[in-house]
Amino acid sequence: MYRFLISRRWLTYLGLAIVFAIACVLLSRWQMARLDEAKANVDLVTRNYDAPPVPFTQAATDFASLPPDSEWKQVALHGSYDTAQTRVVRNRPNSGQPGYEVVVPFRTDSGQTVIVDRGWLPIGNKEAGRPDSIPAPPSGEATVVVRLRPSEPALDRGAPDGQLASIDLPAYAQQLPYPVLTGAYGLLASENPAPAQPAPASLPKPAPDEGMHLSYALQWLAFAVLMFIGFGYAARQQARNDAIDAAAEAAEAEDASAAEVAEAAARAARFAPRRKRRPTAEDEEDAILDAQGFH
C-alpha cells in the first residue's frame, strides 16, 4: 500500500523533509545558545553592577585587558581629570532620545590613565551636530567610582574635531599625548567632590531581559515536527488516492467482463441448432387423416 514511498519522487520529498528538520534543530540550538548568553549577561549585571567597588590597584589589569566576568565591576579611582582632552561620542541614544556621551581621561595616583564615560547629553539647539554645553568634571583631585566596560569596535565613519564615532579606546589613545589603558573604560557611577556644574545624565542600568530566545527555539522544533507530520499526511493521502484508483479500475474491469460474457452468450445463441417442436394432438390427427387420403 505504501510501496510508492521507495520511489524516487517520495525519497526526494523525505530527503528534503530531513534537511529542513535538521536546519530547524540547528536554528533551535542557536536560539538556545543565545538564551544562555542572555542569561549569562543578566547574571553578570546582577553580580557586578551593585557589588562594592574595588581599588584601582586591584583592577589595573582589567583596564588593560578586560576579562568577560569583570564587566560592570565597580572600581574606585583617585586622581584628576584631564579636561582639555574631553571628547563627545556621537549618535548615543538614551531612552529613545538622540544625544552624546562625554568621555574624559582620568590620571590615577599611580600615573596610569584610564578613560571615564561621565554620562549622556542631549543634542544641542545652538549648533547642529554638537551639544549646547559640556559640563566640566570636578577640578583638582577627585575620587570617582566607575563600572568597567569593554572598548567598542571602530566604526567606518569619521567625526568632527573633539568628537568620536564610538568609544574605540585605541583610536582615542592616538589623539592623546600620553599612554592610556585601552582594554576597558569606566562608566561613571559617582564623583566626589560633586562637580560645580550638573553632571551629564547617568546611563540606565541594563534591564534583566532574557529575550524571546526560548520561545523561538521551541517554535523551530515545532516546525521540524510539523514537517514530518505533513510528510506523513501527504503519504496517507497518496495511499488513499491510490486505493480509490485501484478500486475504480477493478470495477471497470468487472463491468467489461460481464458485458463480454453477455455478448458471447448472445452470439452462441444465434449459432446454436434449433430444437424440434414436440407435435401436438392436432398435428397427430392431421397426420392420420393424411395417411387415409382425406387431405
The tens digit of pLDDT for each residue in 262-288 reads 565 555 455 445 555 666 666 666 666
| 120 & 32 share domain | no
Question: What span, in angstroms and rounded, lies between the C-alpha atoms of 253 and 259?
Answer: 10
Q: What is the pLDDT of residues 25-51, one digit of tens each?
A: 999 999 999 888 888 888 888 889 999
| 15 & 80 share domain | no
In-domain check, residue 201: no
Residue identified by cell 430444437 is: 275
Beta bridge partners of 99: 122
Q: Between 253 and 18, name the one with better pLDDT.
A: 18
**What is the pLDDT averaged over residues 49-58?**
93
| 173 & 65 share domain | yes
Q: Which backbone phi and psi does 72 adopt, to 5 degrees?
A: 75, 0
Single residue among 192, 227, 248 that ends a domain in this structure: 192
Instruction: Give the per-residue pLDDT at 160.
Output: 84
Question: What span, in angstroms and rounded, lies between the C-alpha atoms of 27 and 71?
Answer: 29
Nearest Cα to 189, choosing from 141, 119, 120, 135?
A: 119
Cβ-in-10-Å burial (0-12, 13-18, 19+) of 57 comes to exposed
Task: Confirm if 102 and 201 have CB atoms less than 8 A apart.
Answer: no
| 105 & 1 share domain | no
In-domain check, residue 207: no
| 154 & 38 share domain | no
Q: Between 125 and 28, name the one with better pLDDT.
A: 28
Evaluate the omega torsion of the peptide bond into residue 170 and state whether it is cis, within 30 degrees of 0. Answer: no
In-domain check, residue 283: no
In-domain check, residue 287: no
| 40 & 71 share domain | no
Q: Taking 70 as the threshold, does the pLDDT of residue 294 lie above it?
A: no
**What is the pLDDT averaged over residues 122-130?**
83
In-domain check, residue 288: no
Residue 273 cell numbers, joined: 441448432
Question: What span, in angstroms and rounded, lies between the C-alpha atoms of 101 and 117?
Answer: 7
Q: What is the pLDDT of residues 188-230, one digit of tens each?
A: 999 999 888 888 999 888 877 777 888 999 999 999 999 999 9
Nearest Cα to 149, choosing from 112, 180, 185?
A: 185
Q: Taking 70 as the threshold, does the pLDDT of residue 108 lie above it?
A: yes
Three-state SS annotation for the chain: CCHHHHCHHHHHHHHHHHHHHHHHHHHHHHHHHHHHHHHHHHHHHHHHCCCCCEEHHHHHHHHHCCCHHHCCCEEEEEEEECHHHCEEECCCCECCECEEEEEEEEEECCCCEEEEEEEEEECCCCCCCCCCCCCCCCCCEEEEEEEEEECCCCCCCCCCCCEECCCCHHHHHCCCCCCCCCCEEEEEEEEECCCCCCCCECCCCCCCCCCCHHHHHHHHHHHHHHHHHHHHHHHHHHHHHHHHHHHHHHHHHHHHHHHHHHHHHHHHHHHCCCCCCCCCHHHHHHHHHHHHCCC
Single residue among 142, 157, 192 that ends a domain in this structure: 192
Query: Alpha carbon of 294 to those of 89, 279, 281, 287, 291: distances in Å?
Result: 149, 20, 17, 10, 8
Domain, as residue range, for 175: 50-192
In-domain check, residue 291: no
| 107 & 130 share domain | yes
Q: Taking 50 as the threshold, does the pLDDT of residue 236 lie above it?
A: yes
In-domain check, residue 94: yes
Domain count, the chain: 2
In-domain check, residue 238: yes
